[in-house]
Amino acid sequence: DIQMTQSPSSLPASLGDRVTITCRASQDIGNYLRWFQQKPGKSPRLMIYGATNLANGVPSRFSGSRSGSDYSLTINSLESEDMAIYYCLQHNEYPYTFGAGTKLELK
């Protein structure tokens, strides 16, 4: 199975900060990588697909990138509504696997 190692697990940050969350894939997954945002009591929301593509309605301060087997989600100029847990997902091969999540919280 492909392991997705997500870091950090917790990320304290201030409003206006630029933050980056990373997932490292244990095997090649191409660009079959998605990022999700989940707020308390809500279903996850797709933010990034194909490693770098912004999903519909997602603010432009969010972006995705890839460097080898490292996939990153960056949020520029953090806003209060961005406080949530973020997960990556590889869907290159079964079993699909998620990262363990990153809790983004106010410092």
Partner 1 sequence: EVQLVESGGGLVQPGRSLKLSCVASGFTFNNYWMTWIRQAPGKGLEWVASITNTGGSTYYPDSVKGRFTISRDNAKSTLYLQMNSLRSEDTATYYCTREGARYWGQGVMVTVSS
| Chain contacts with partner 1 (rule: CB under 8 A) | 1, 32, 34, 36, 43-46, 49, 55, 87, 89, 91, 94-101
Cis peptide before 8 (omega within 30 of 0): yes
Smallest gap from residue 14 Cβ to partner 1 (A) = 26
Amino acid at 63: S
Residue 97 CB, nearest approach to partner 1 (Å): 7
Q: At its nearest, how many Å lie between partner 1 and the CB of residue 15? A: 26
Closer residue to partner 1 in complex, CB, 17/93: 93
Which tokens in the block code for residue 13?
Answer: 């940050």
Compute how many other C-beta atoms are within 10 angstroms of the C-beta atom of residue 89.
19
Count CA atoms closer than 13 A to 79's CA, side-chain side. Answer: 5
